[in-house]
């Protein structure tokens, strides 16, 4: 087995006395598409926040390319992009200003061309100089896709990315994710949408309040079994 690109090593997260994640362990190889299923409130977003170095675990480590992420989080963050249900965009700035701002933080070279390229990808070139506060939720999410891809991340986290998307925005997201999959980008998606999640997954994890109840390669297990385990985890 190849060296894991990302390894969750005994990750535990507590908020006060409440244990949100308890000894979570798994590995992801380069180019994998891991889908994390689980009901609301089970800790999917917390897990994504910990894996993407936004938040520190109470116990355990995130290991990226054999090195603890906490040792050099800035290096890890350069490789990471996140598409969340929250677009991380400033309502008073235009689409271009938002993307240029994040581009500067990530030190993206030839930033204007990269912005044009991404706005074309998300089909919002004509709204480049419009203030983001005037955009619909779907349009904001499309700009958010562009924001996440600005620095050409090799690892992309998607946290409930289809939440609140109109069909057009969802189609753009799905096409982008498929293309990234072809480009060997490692994808980690948290969702409770079984159909969307299973379309792309090469590995599936089901998270329940008790912890991980299933961790399998998607081709080793059929969709009906995954559905069954998922539904059982909701009932228990």
| Shortest separation between residue 145's beta carbon and another protein, angstroms | 13
| Shortest separation between residue 131's beta carbon and another protein, angstroms | 7
| Shortest separation between residue 82's beta carbon and another protein, angstroms | 6
φ/ψ of 89, rounded to 5, equals -115, 145
| Shortest separation between residue 162's beta carbon and another protein, angstroms | 17
Q: Which ranges of 67-222 would DSSP assign to H, the alpha helix?
A: 73-79, 95-105, 111-121, 137-149, 167-182, 194-200
| Shortest separation between residue 74's beta carbon and another protein, angstroms | 5
Closest to another protein by CB, 15 vs 220, is 15
> Where do we find the tokens 């965009």?
89
Residue numbers of the site for another protein (CB under 8 A)? 15, 49, 52-56, 74-75, 77-78, 80, 82, 84, 86-93, 97, 101-102, 104-107, 131, 147
Closest to another protein by CB, 87 vs 203, is 87
Closest to another protein by CB, 147 vs 196, is 147
Count CB neighbours of 175 within 10 A.
11
CB 124 within 8 A of CB 95: yes
| Shortest separation between residue 28's beta carbon and another protein, angstroms | 18
Tell me the residue ranges of DSSP E strands in the chain.
Answer: 6-15, 18-28, 33-37, 59-64, 67-68, 80-84, 155-159, 186-191, 203-208, 211-217
With residues binned 3-state (H G I as helix, E B as strand, rest as coil), the percentages for the chain, rounded to 5, are: 40, 30, 30
The two tokens of residue 199 are 């379309």
Task: Provide Rg for the chain, Cα atoms.
Answer: 18
Task: Please state, in angstroms and as integers, the Cα–Cα distance from residue 164 to each residue in 168, 169, 197, 233, following that order.
Answer: 12, 10, 16, 25
């Amino acid at each position: 087995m190849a060296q894991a690109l990302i390894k969750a090593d005994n990750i535990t997260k507590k908020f006060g006395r409440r244990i949100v994640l308890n000894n979570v362990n798994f590995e992801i190889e380069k180019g994998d598409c891991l889908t994390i299923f689980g009901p609301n409130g089970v800790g999917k977003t917390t897990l994504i926040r910990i894996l993407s170095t936004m938040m520190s675990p109470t116990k355990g480590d995130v290991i990226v390319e054999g090195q603890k992420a906490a040792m050099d989080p800035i290096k890890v963050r350069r490789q990471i992009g996140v598409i969340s249900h929250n677009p991380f965009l400033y309502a008073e700035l235009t689409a271009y200003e938002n993307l240029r701002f994040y581009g500067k933080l990530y030190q993206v070279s030839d930033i204007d061309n990269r912005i044009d390229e991404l706005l074309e990808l998300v089909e919002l070139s004509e709204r480049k100089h419009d203030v983001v506060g005037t955009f619909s939720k779907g349009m904001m999410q499309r700009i958010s896709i562009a924001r996440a891809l600005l620095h050409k991340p090799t690892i992309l986290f998607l946290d409930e990315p289809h939440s609140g998307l109109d069909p057009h925005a969802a189609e753009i997201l799905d096409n982008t994710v498929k293309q990234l999959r072809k480009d060997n980008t490692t994808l980690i998606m948290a969702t409770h949408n079984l159909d969307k999640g299973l379309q792309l997954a090469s590995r599936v994890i089901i998270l329940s309040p008790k912890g991980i109840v299933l961790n399998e390669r998607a081709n080793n297990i059929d969709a009906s079994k995954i559905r069954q385990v998922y539904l059982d985890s909701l009932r228990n």
